[in-house]
Amino acid sequence: MASDPVYEATCTAPVNIAVVKYWGKRDTTLILPTNSSLSVTLSQDHLRSLTSARCITTTSNNSNANAVADRLWLNGHEEEIQQGGRTHRCLAELRQMRKDLESRDSSLPKLTDFALHIASENNFPTAAGLASSASGLSALIATISTLYALLPENGVSVSDLSRVARQGSGSACRSMFGGYVAWDMGTRDDGHDSVAVEVAPASHWPDLHALILVVSDKKKGTPSTAGMQRTVATSDLLKHRIDHVVPARMDRISTAIRNRDFDQFAIETMADSNQFHAVCLDTQPPIFYLNDVSRAVIQLVAELNRASVDAGKGYLAAYTYDAGPNAVLYVRERDVKLVLELVLRYFPQQTFDDPFHLGPEPAAASSFVQGFNAAVIPEHEVGAVARIIHTKVGDGPRVLSSDESLLNGEGMPKSLV
C-alpha cells in the first residue's frame, strides 16, 4: 500500500537592518508606510529564522477534512493563530494564491483543502535584542510559497510574496530578498504597489560586513508599533522627513550601493539613523532608544571617521540604530579587523565569537588612524556592550532539504518545549 504523499517544505530567511528607516504607517491594517525604506540583508550563516510547513493530508485525526485548523509553533511553543490576525491574513492570502493556481491547472494537488502545521525557530536568542519578526515572517512566507509552488514560473514574483510578508510585519517584506533591498512605499490605497524590490544582489557588493553591538538596557523601550504612530500623530518634523528628506536619500543611497561607494553609503546611513532618532525625540512624549552606551559608540565611530577622512582615507564605518540601543556597524571587509580591534578596546568582551577567524585583539587606536583622539570616549567596562555579533551581507531565503525539517513524521514539531 502506497503511503500518502508528503507535502512539506523547509526554508530559512534572513534578518535585515535598515539604512533608511521605516517609521510611520499610513494604513495600520495593510501596513502601508509613510516613507520608503532600504536595508541590507544579513547572512543566514549567522542569523536566520528556520521554518517548516506541512499539509496535514491524513484525515484520521480530524473528523472534518475540510476544516482548516492550522497550527503554529514558535521556538517549540504553540502559538494561537488569531482569526483576522496578521499571521491568519498572510496564510489566507497565500491560500488564495494557491487556489488561483489550482483552478488554472487541475493536475495540481488541492493543497488548499488541507490544514497546515508550521514550526519556526530562530538561531539567535531573544536576548540578542534583535527583532525576529522580519526574519520569522519572511521564513513563513518563503516556506509556504515553496510548499504551494508560488514561484516566478507560476506567475508569482518575489515582490508579490513581499507584499504578503509586508502585511504580516512591515519590514519583513525586505527579508524576501538578499543583498540591498528597497521597500517602495507605493501610492495605492490597497497597498498593491507597496512591495520590496532588489536594489542590488549581495554578489554586487559582497564585502560589506556588519558588527552588531548588543547594548544592555535595563528598561525596555517603547514598542515600535505604538511608537511610530505616536510620532505620526505628534511630530512636526516627521512630515518634513517624509516629504523632503527620504525620497532624495533613497536615490542617493541606491546610487551609492550601485557604485559601491562606501563613503556616500556611510554618510547617508548615519544621517538617516540620526534623523530617525531625532523624530523619535520630537514625539510627545518623546521616545528614547539610544542610551549612554549607544551615544558613546556613535561618538567613537564619528571620531574614527573624522580622523580617517582628515587623513585622506575616507570613512571606515557607518553606524545605524533601530528601535533599541543596539548599534549595527557596517564596515568594508578590508577595514573590519581594524574596527573590531577598536571596538574591543573601548567595549571589552569576555569572549568574542570570531566567525571570520580574524583573531582581533583590543588595540590602541593610534596604531591605525593618524590623529585619532583616543580620549573621545572612556574605555567602558566589560558588559556595557554585552555581545558582538559579526556577520556580513547575505542572500535571500533559502530552500532546505527535508532532512532539516522541524516537523516529524506525524507533522508535529520535533522539539516541543
337-366 positions binding its own copies, by CB under 8 A: none
* Stretch near its own copies under the rule CB under 8 A, chosen from 166-174, 253-261, 268-276, 401-409: 268-276
Q: Which residues contact 23 (CB under 8 A, 6 or more apart)?
A: 34, 35, 224, 228, 231, 238, 276, 279, 280
- Rounded distance between C-alpha atoms, residue 47 and residue 68, angstroms: 32
Q: How many helices (H) and strands (E) does the chain have?
A: 9, 16
- Pick the closer one to its own copies by CB: 75 or 274: 274
Q: Does 309 bind its own copies (CB under 8 A)?
A: no
- Rounded distance between C-alpha atoms, residue 132 and residue 124, angstroms: 9
313-342 positions binding its own copies, by CB under 8 A: none
In the list 65, 92, 197, 281, the residue contacting its own copies (rule: CB under 8 A) is: 281
Q: Does 295 bind its own copies (CB under 8 A)?
A: yes
In the list 285, 351, 401, 409, the residue contacting its own copies (rule: CB under 8 A) is: 285
Cell numbers that stand for 190 in this block: 490597497
**∠ CA 183-329-136 to the nearest 5 degrees?**
45
Burial string for 373-409 (b: 16+ CB within 10 Å, else e) reads eeebbeebeeebbbbbbbbbbbbbbbebeeeebbbee
Q: Does 270 bind its own copies (CB under 8 A)?
A: yes
* In contact, 166 and 173? CB cutoff 8 Å: yes
Q: Does 275 bind its own copies (CB under 8 A)?
A: yes
Q: How far is the CB of 282 from its own copies (least distance, A)?
A: 4
Q: Does 279 bind its own copies (CB under 8 A)?
A: yes
* Stretch near its own copies under the rule CB under 8 A, chosen from 47-55, 252-260, 282-290, 359-367: 282-290
* Stretch near its own copies under the rule CB under 8 A, chosen from 1-9, 124-132, 272-280, 349-357: 272-280
Antiparallel, parallel or unpaired: β 115-122 and 71-74: parallel
Q: Which residues contact 115 (CB under 8 A, 6 or more apart)?
A: 55, 56, 62, 67, 68, 69, 70, 71
- Pick the closer one to its own copies by CB: 293 or 388: 293
In the list 77, 110, 192, 240, the residue contacting its own copies (rule: CB under 8 A) is: 240
Q: Answer whether the bond into residue 285 is a cis peptide, omega within 30°.
A: yes
Q: Does 278 bind its own copies (CB under 8 A)?
A: yes
Q: Which residues contact 334 (CB under 8 A, 6 or more apart)?
A: 207
- Pick the closer one to its own copies by CB: 278 or 364: 278
Q: How far is the CB of 126 from its own copies (least distance, A)?
A: 22
Q: How far is the CB of 370 from its own copies (least distance, A)?
A: 19
Give the count of residues interacting with its own copies (CB under 8 A): 32
* Stretch near its own copies under the rule CB under 8 A, chosen from 1-9, 112-120, 130-138, 294-302: 294-302
Using the 8-state DSSP alphabet, how is residue 367 labeled?
G
Q: Per-residue string for binding with its own copies, 364-383, x by CB under 8 A?
A: -------------xx-----
Q: Does 54 bind its own copies (CB under 8 A)?
A: no
Cell numbers that stand for 263 in this block: 563613503
**∠ CA 165-179-139 to the nearest 5 degrees?**
30
Q: Does 216 bind its own copies (CB under 8 A)?
A: no
Q: How far is the CB of 273 from its own copies (least distance, A)?
A: 9
Q: Per-residue string for binding with its own copies, 217-236, x by CB under 8 A?
A: -xx----------------x
- Pick the closer one to its own copies by CB: 219 or 357: 219
As a whole number of angstroms, the longest Cα–Cα distance in the chain is 78
Rg (the chain; Cα; Å): 22
Cell numbers that stand for 333 in this block: 571587509
- Rounded distance between C-alpha atoms, residue 166 and residue 144, angstroms: 15
Residues that bind its own copies (CB under 8 A): 218-219, 236-237, 240-241, 244-245, 267, 270-271, 274-275, 277-279, 281-286, 288, 291-292, 295, 298-299, 302, 306, 377-378
